[in-house]
Copies of this chain bind each other. A is one copy, B any other.
Amino acid sequence: MDITQQTIQQMDHAHRATLINSLPGYKCLQLVGTTGINGHSNLGLFNSVVHLGASPALLGMVFRPKSADHDTLSNIERTGFYTFNNVTGSFLEQAHQTSARYPSGFSEFVECGLTEFFIAGFDAPFVAESTIRIALTLKEILPIKINGTTLVIGEISYISMNDALIATDGYIDHGKAGTITTTGLDSYFEAQHIARLSYAKPGLPLKRF
């Protein structure tokens, strides 16, 4: 099937959203924890995280315009703190349920049956059920004018996970961590490791490790 730009533009809204969201493939799934205006905890499910750099250690995250994302975004703008928490198969449904639009003042932790915890000096909740938890401090908010989205850039200020998940070279094993991945708006996948491949050089055969 060949789909042209004109066909895409003429699709109905829901069909196009489902197609385009599922088109590029697997995405990084994170529960994002923030603190709301009255001090209550907020948790939202996002799939728009992108690596920006290792030194300084920066992660980007795209927010949609005028949407339910706005609690999370306004909390990050106000407090400067947020957390990324991976999702495993054992609490997938609770994680997905956080995308429901609860009235302001409700905590998704309570409504969806997830457990929050805090560390001293960091004003955003972590998810106890997650196996890899990242604390971020806001560095920059970049408006993407072409479609009204926003790129939020944060620096990694703290990582919490089990020792057994990190190899001696720093590699984090998301297979062991049970991290799941997503495509589109509602589809979830487990991942099975194929291999790590050696650094590629012209004319040199690759090694699997």
Contacts and interface: CB of A to CB of B under 8 A. Distances in A.
Interface residues of A, number: 107
A191 B191 contact: yes
A117 interface: no
Given A15-B169, A20-B51, A100-B202, A188 B179 contact: no
Nearest to A59: B24
Determine chain A's interface SS by DSSP, over half rule: mixed
Contacts of A111: 202
Contacts of A155: 5
A40 interface: no
A27 B28 contact: yes
A161 interface: yes
Q: Indicate the member of A161, A166, A183 with the most B CB atoms within 10 Å.
A: A183
Given A20-B54, A151-B151, 7 more contacts: A17-B54, A25-B29, A53-B64, A96-B197, A97-B206, A172-B184, A189-B191
